[in-house]
Amino acid sequence: MHLQLKIYYILKVNKAVKLQFANVLRRKRKELHLTQQQLADQSLHMTRQTLSRWENNLNYPNLDTLNEDLSEFLAVSSRYFT
């Protein structure tokens, strides 16, 4: 039982972190009046589709992708969402 609760907690926290990431990313982009395409091309060097998946909480970047450019854009430490 203890292990099941621990696994449940880890999954719940992980889901919350992913949702927080999606919300922060979307909010920051909109604050800067950027489209997904503009941000993807100019600042993060990725596809608009990837950015859209992140903002819609359909996917989450791996730790290698949470690089300095993304952290700088979000104005957080690269370890903020890990």
CB burial readout 59-82, b (16+ within 10 A) else e: ebbeeeebeeebeebbeeeeeebe
The count of structural domains within the chain is 1
pTM of the full structure: 0.73
User: Is 16 a domain residue?
Assistant: yes
CATH code of 69's domain: 1.10.260.40
User: Is 47 a domain residue?
Assistant: yes
Tell me: the pLDDT tens digits for 3-56?
Answer: 655 555 555 667 787 888 889 889 988 998 999 999 998 878 889 999 999 999
User: Is 20 a domain residue?
Assistant: yes
- Mention every residue, 6+ apart, whose C-beta is less than 8 A from residue 57: 18, 19, 22
